[in-house]
A and B are shown apart, each in its own frame.
Chain A
């Protein structure tokens, strides 16, 4: 499976090599967003990039609930991904999250709050320093970033803040998949009287403490985040540790 993916990636890279030389062609945003120049400057710091269909961003064309828009980022067709940043051009807070797949696949599923219809993009930085940008358009009624969290209107969550539930799948078609959910209101700070209060870091390590994936999480990730990722075929306990912007921490072990 991995070999096949790598071969596919190599083939795709060969095909892309010719047009990649022409700068003008590269910089035309396939999603036609008037915000792209700003995105490039603020999210990619003006570094080299290429629009690349090998970075797949899956999300519904029409998202029913702007508070919970499902996003799946799959950059596994690219070799040696160091970092992936996910962002939405028309959100008041652009960056959604950033992940470093140190020893996992460059794959992450989660849910996001959208303030209005927007391109939803992922840029994957490969070892050569080039950002590969993929994305999709999501239509939504909006308001996702300026609606209060369920958590902010009740006190129930306080007792369970940073509580983690998780499960791993070890055989069958989902082999190697891990899903984890963390209880957190993920308040954006854009509502009067409700300060920003959100998870900002999550690291997954193997039993020996070696990092498998590091996540930097921003406000637009949905309340009570659920992450889906692949840990690969490694056996053994998985460690998940993290903290929010108020210094509350968690550190748990997920049995295989």
Chain B
């Protein structure tokens, strides 16, 4: 079984950790996010420290530094994705073009709608909007 190690960090540690990992040629597996039980955003930077994954978590922040200058597109694509799905702002990240979601969805429903709102509530909201 692959080892998975969760390490909680502060927002200020994100960039220094990314720089250290880059120096050691460690692959950035992915940047993930979810809304935890308390309703706070839990964002993780998962690095392939073989044979396991070291997962650095920041909880409760909606604006975070971008590590795009360190990991290039390997970081900016996940950051753009999280910006669209969760509305997380990454400082310095170019978000002028959409990555995944259709532009009309971003404009009309607001960022983060898809991942944060339960499906049942979305269906109800759409019904109301359609006047049913």
Q: Do A and B bind each other?
A: no
What residues of chain A have their CB less than 8 Å away from a CB belonging to chain B? none
